[in-house]
């Protein structure tokens, strides 16, 4: 084993300035996270409490084992839109009766817990995480169903919510619904498609159509209780498996259900782990606010992996990508980390070989992003940069071991793809507040547009005014800069959350533990392997 040394001078002006910039970004992030915690605001919180009800996060807290962590996912969903930050639903991974579960809880203080397009994307992402990592799914239901004004964006894709539930069940992944309040219309299929259903006397209301709708449809006079009350479902329709007396009782029953699942993780156990030899606190000062300044990812790894031990693969070849083997909270990982930004042919070939090695040894991969993309220019095109980049992207696409991605700095262009960006299905993807991701950097993008516009004007014989060009470039740069920030991308659910760099080891440890609920097996050359590599 090689122990990493770290040359970072934590007293230097540069380190202190980097840490200060990161702290400022974290403070901005805290303010946005607070909006998610505030839910529908004071008025609706108070009304909810007056009704004797617990808030979504309080329900989750009671459901979890004492002192168990909760890895909340996508808390900034819907940021930058007209909808409340958090998208009226809380999702995350927590331990219930000793079992890691995926929990989805409607926030009834935001528009009655109705699902808008962002809530839908967030809960579909949660279901995907449950499926690929084999996590029992617990729905804490209290929702007005579809957000009616935006029904066109949710009705048709939203059908997947119910299909997912039954497909999870078909794969032997348990699904549990604890119904705290309303679960009407489409929402009725949440308990309807779940393996285990708990309802609360005088609280749960589950019907396809409430009294007004029934009156309209058939003329029948009815009331909430006879159409969809908990007592009725427990005694008459049989939709409720358990009748709880109140919210705490429902949570207790939910915990009992999980304790009887006879759940076993299918991935290998971790070995005993030791902390890194360098303080995680120091991760604050490594990434410079100006991403043009390079930083050594080994300085990050020294503060991330067990014992700061890292055996580097091909350290002398393709040196702007660092590859190597480590452990994280006792789980083996292969690491691919950008060092000087640009990916050349050598880096692509090295990455491809390394990804294949990880698949041969069933080792999960961790991608640490700080790349401006693949190298452009005549020399590189003639040297085959397209086919070499394609080779790396092929390897990432067809690799079967679990992938984790962390955007530390830049993640631009096809480099984002080669490093297992969101479209490449990493099991989890998080960003640091310092990250930026877009098709290319804002200045480059504005410059390209300017060159294209100038040439088009020339071809038309039209005048090209320099002041207009400067104004256009400034506007485009500002737009692309804003759209490449992690808070914006998190709002669009392109990551699973923006995290404090100091929490990275803990977050990745929780993810690796969750991942190991499913078997871990790499791709082989037996027909289930990689596509055709262009050499």
Residues that bind ligand COA (CB under 6 A): 111-112, 114, 144-148, 182, 184-186
Residue closer to ligand COA, measured from CB, 182 or 348: 182
> How many angstroms separate the CA atoms of 475 and 289, rounded?
22
Instruction: Write down the least CB distance from residue 221 to ligand COA, Å.
Output: 18
Residue closer to ligand COA, measured from CB, 110 or 336: 110
Rg (CA), the chain: 25
Residue closer to ligand COA, measured from CB, 145 or 522: 145
Q: The tokens of 167 are what? A: 């497909």
Q: The tokens of 81 are what? A: 């839109």
Residue closer to ligand COA, measured from CB, 187 or 332: 187
Residue closer to ligand COA, measured from CB, 206 or 302: 206
Instruction: Write down the least CB distance from residue 140 to ligand COA, Å.
Output: 15
Find the helix or strand (DSSP H, E) in which 305 lies.
Answer: none
**Cα 495 vs. chain centroid, distance in angstroms?**
4
Contact between 112 and 144 under an 8 Å Cβ cutoff? The reply is: yes
Residue nearest ligand COA, Cβ-based? 145
Buried-exposed string 427-438: b where 16+ CB fall within 10 A, e elsewhere: bbbbbbbbbbbb
Residue closer to ligand COA, measured from CB, 40 or 324: 40
Instruction: Write down the least CB distance from residue 113 to ligand COA, Å.
Output: 7
> How many angstroms separate the CA atoms of 290 and 300, rounded?
17
Write the CA distances from 28 to 25, 411, 499, integer angstroms: 5, 21, 12
> How many angstroms separate the CA atoms of 380 and 374, rounded?
9
> How many angstroms separate the CA atoms of 486 and 58, rounded?
28
Residue closer to ligand COA, measured from CB, 85 or 511: 85
Instruction: Write down the least CB distance from residue 174 to ligand COA, Å.
Output: 26
> How many angstroms separate the CA atoms of 52 and 247, rounded?
9
Helix residue ranges, H only, 273-344: 297-301
Helix (H, G, I), strand (E, B) or coil at 365: strand
Pick the closest to residue 134 from 459, 518, 403 (CA basis). Answer: 518
Instruction: Write down the least CB distance from residue 32 to ligand COA, Å.
Output: 22
Residue closer to ligand COA, measured from CB, 111 or 134: 111
Residue closer to ligand COA, measured from CB, 105 or 146: 146
Residue closer to ligand COA, measured from CB, 39 or 75: 39
> How many angstroms separate the CA atoms of 153 and 83, rounded?
14
Decide: residue 214, CB within 10 A, 0-12 exposed, 13-18 middle, 19+ buried. middle
Instruction: Write down the least CB distance from residue 318 to ligand COA, Å.
Output: 53
Residue closer to ligand COA, measured from CB, 111 or 340: 111
**Cα 314 vs. chain centroid, distance in angstroms?**
31
Instruction: Write down the least CB distance from residue 190 to ligand COA, Å.
Output: 12
Instruction: Write down the least CB distance from residue 59 to ligand COA, Å.
Output: 16
Contact between 453 and 469 under an 8 Å Cβ cutoff? The reply is: yes
Instruction: Write down the least CB distance from residue 138 to ligand COA, Å.
Output: 21
> How many angstroms separate the CA atoms of 11 and 13, rounded?
7
Instruction: Write down the least CB distance from residue 222 to ligand COA, Å.
Output: 15
87: DSSP letter? T
Residue closer to ligand COA, measured from CB, 184 or 194: 184
- The set of residues, in sequence order, having a beta carbon less than 8 Å from that of 478 and lying 6+ positions away, is 442
Contact between 446 and 393 under an 8 Å Cβ cutoff? The reply is: no
In 119-210, beta strands by DSSP E: 137-143, 175-183, 196-200
Contact between 435 and 409 under an 8 Å Cβ cutoff? The reply is: yes
Q: What phi and psi, each to the nearest 5 degrees, are found at residue 531?
A: -75, -175
Instruction: Write down the least CB distance from residue 248 to ligand COA, Å.
Output: 20
Instruction: Write down the least CB distance from residue 145 to ligand COA, Å.
Output: 3
* Sheet arrangement for strand 137-143: 70-73, 89-96, 99-106, 137-143, 175-183, 196-200, 242-244
Instruction: Write down the least CB distance from residue 144 to ligand COA, Å.
Output: 3
Residue closer to ligand COA, measured from CB, 177 or 490: 177
């Amino acid at each position: 084993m090689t122990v990493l040394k770290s040359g970072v001078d934590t007293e230097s002006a540069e380190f202190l300035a980097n840490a200060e910039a990161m702290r400022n970004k974290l403070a901005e992030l805290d303010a946005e996270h607070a909006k998610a915690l505030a839910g529908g605001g004071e008025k609706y919180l108070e009304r909810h409490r007056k009704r004797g009800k617990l808030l979504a996060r309080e329900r989750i807290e009671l459901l979890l084992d004492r002192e168990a962590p909760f890895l909340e996912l996508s808390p900034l969903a819907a940021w930058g839109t007209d909808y409340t930050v958090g998208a009226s639903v809380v999702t995350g991974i927590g331990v219930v009766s000793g079992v890691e579960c995926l929990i989805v809880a409607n926030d009834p203080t935001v528009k009655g817990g109705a699902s808008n397009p962002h809530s839908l994307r967030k809960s579909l992402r949660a279901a995907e995480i449950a499926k690929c990592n084999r996590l029992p799914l617990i729905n804490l239901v209290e929702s007005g169903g579809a957000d009616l004004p935006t029904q066109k964006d949710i009705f048709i894709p939203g059908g997947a919510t119910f299909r997912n539930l039954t497909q999870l069940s078909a794969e032997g992944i348990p699904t549990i619904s604890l119904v705290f309040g309303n679960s009407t219309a489409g929402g009725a299929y949440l308990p309807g498609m779940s393996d285990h259903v708990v309802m609360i006397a005088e609280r749960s209301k589950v019907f396809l159509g409430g009294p007004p709708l029934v009156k309209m449809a058939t003329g029948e006079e009815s009331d909430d209780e006879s159409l969809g009350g908990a007592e009725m479902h427990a005694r008459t329709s049989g939709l409720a498996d358990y009748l709880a007396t109140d919210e705490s009782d429902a949570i207790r029953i939910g915990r009992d259900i999980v304790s009887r699942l006879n759940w076993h993780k299918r991935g290998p156990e971790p070995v005993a782990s030791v902390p890194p030899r360098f303080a995680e606190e120091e991760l604050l000062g490594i990434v410079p606010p100006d991403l043009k300044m390079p930083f050594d990812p080994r300085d990050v790894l020294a503060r991330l992996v067990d014992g700061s031990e890292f055996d580097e693969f091909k350290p002398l070849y393709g040196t702007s990508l660092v590859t190597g083997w480590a452990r994280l909270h006792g789980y083996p990982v292969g690491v691919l980390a950008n060092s000087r930004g640009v990916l050349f042919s050598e880096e692509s070939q090295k990455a491809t070989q390394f990804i294949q090695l990880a698949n041969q040894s069933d080792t999960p991969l961790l991608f640490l992003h700080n790349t401006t993309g693949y190298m452009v220019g005549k020399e590189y095109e003639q040297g085959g940069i397209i086919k070499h980049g394609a080779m790396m992207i092929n390897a990432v696409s067809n690799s079967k071991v679990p992938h984790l991605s962390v955007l530390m700095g830049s993640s631009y262009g096809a480099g984002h793809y080669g490093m297992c960006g969101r479209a490449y299905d990493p099991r989890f993807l998080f960003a640091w507040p310092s990250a930026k991701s877009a098709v290319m950097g804002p200045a480059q993008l504005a410059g390209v547009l300017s060159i294209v516009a100038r040439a088009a004007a020339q071809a038309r014989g039209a005048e090209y005014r320099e002041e207009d060009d400067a104004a256009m470039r400034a506007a485009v740069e500002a737009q692309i800069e804003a759209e490449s920030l992690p808070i914006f991308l998190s709002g669009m659910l392109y990551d699973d959350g923006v995290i404090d760099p100091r929490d990275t080891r803990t977050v990745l440890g929780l993810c690796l533990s969750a991942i190991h609920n499913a078997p871990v097996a790499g791709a082989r050359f037996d027909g289930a392997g990689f596509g055709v590599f262009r050499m």
